[in-house]
Amino acid sequence: MSTEEAFSGLEPAGLWRLFSALVRIPRPSGQEAAVAEWITHWADSHGFAARRDAVGNLCVSVPAADGVPGSRAVALQAHLDMVCARSEGAASDPASGRIELARDGEWVTAPHSTLGADNGIGIVAAMSLAEMEGLRHGPLELLFTVEEETTSKGADGLDPDLIRADVMLNLDAESSGVLEIGCAGSAWTILRWSAAREPVPDGWQAIDIRLSGLRGGHSGIDIAKGRLNAIKGLVGLLHRLADDTPIRLCRVEGGSAFNAIPIRAQATVACPDDRLSSCLDEIAGYAAHLARRFAGTEPDLSVEQAAAPGSKRTCWADQDGLRLLDLLQVLPSGVLAVDPDLPGQVETSSNVGIVTEVDGVLEVHSLARSSIASAMDEVVASVRSAARLAGAQFHLHHPVTPPWRVAPDSIALRVLQRAYRDLFGHEPRLVTVHGAAESAILAERLPRLDIVSLGPEIQHAHVPGERVNIRSVVEFYRLLCEVVVRLSAAPG
């Protein structure tokens, strides 16, 4: 389906017009220059001033509407980057600006890749609101940050002089009818492990193993949905295999983003020729076990195995390979604790997101999350201890994102709740999300900021098949416009 067909007839028309242009712009984390240039050109065409700070954040200043002098300034914030994931072999490639689109009932979706509704809808909602005629808003500051999906470089390095407002609406929430008033903190750890390699022994056969077809998802929002982490599933298989067979580990890798639940992983092992048949049977048996265990959440789970020539393969020595498997096995992953005061709310979790080899060094990327800072520190300590026992280097990537919670006297929250009730006839749900949010870093960076987060219904963020609900976009945009008008008139 063409971009024009995907958005034909949708309201608000201005928002979807801008989004149809945005999906053609590559914007993976760290490569936001093209989308920042597009927004700057848009700002120039409307006579809005645009400024960038040293780390690449962009702020567009929109003057108050005619007849609304001396009103309160409101900041609208979204992030420029997106997770660029696609199905294997798909023509759709967000990193190149090629996203195949489809309309599926009440949804706009990218069937074979990420769509970029996270946080593209927030970007274009702010832009569309700014160019809307007749909306009685005060001064607006449209803040677009960089590298939210990876390093949080934009929020962490924000120049405080870029924002003068004391109230901010973060547009990165992903649930309709919900106002986000808090989030978990997060800590990204990287382990680096290496050991000497040697040729596969004579009389041994190499086997390629691939676990794929998993649903994956956001490592915070989807962590409690019972989905299999491809890396942990494959490591479990390899560990079981090593218990019964003298194998050598040649390769293990998986995952594409530290903050996404991995959807595929692969490994190569070698075993004696006379044990090849039993090895293949063991792999098939464990694959059947995984299929049964995750039948309800991973219906498309697939484990492929194939004997491969081993004459040119290298492997790690017996004990080194086992030590690596032990490291990957004991790393915490999944839900680690639930909030005793909020039934169904995850308090602490960890995700093993990437295993990859870089210049002969194996890197393991994990992301810990918790709404309690000390609990997050304990997960990081566990990862550090596992690294020490395995002889791996430990690195804590900065910044560590703190937990965040809206102040009880928040003007933004009070106005949002009243506007929502007036528009839709019922109260919004107030939630704290089990995912790191830029709001936490921005609130720490600018303590005066009163921040609340809102957004439309977005599903399957960070994985192929990401989609956004059309009706929820209408409601989100209607609420956003109403709140901006009310906040502009609210006393300082």
Residues marked active site are found at: 81, 148
- Distance CA(301)–CA(228), nearest Å, equals 9
Determine phi and psi for 370, rounding to 5 degrees: -165, 145
Alpha helices, DSSP H only, in 106-168? 117-130, 153-156
Structure tokens at 73: 């300034």
SS3 assignment, position 367: strand
For the beta carbon of residue 324, count every other beta carbon within 10 angstroms. Answer: 24
- Distance CA(286)–CA(306), nearest Å, equals 15
- Distance CA(109)–CA(79), nearest Å, equals 20
What DSSP assignment string belongs to 201-248? Answer: PTTEEEEEEEEE----EETTTTTTS-PPPHHHHHHHHHHHHHHHS--E
The number of helix segments (H) and strand segments (E) in the chain equals 12, 26
For the beta carbon of residue 436, count every other beta carbon within 10 angstroms. Answer: 27
Structure tokens at 336: 């680690």
Q: Residue 42 burial (CB < 10 Å; 0-12/13-18/19+)?
A: middle
Q: CB of 23 within 8 A of CB of 12?
A: no
DSSP 8-state secondary structure symbol assigned to residue 402: P
Those residues with Cβ within 8 angstroms of residue 372's Cβ, 6 or more apart along the chain or in another chain: 347, 348, 403
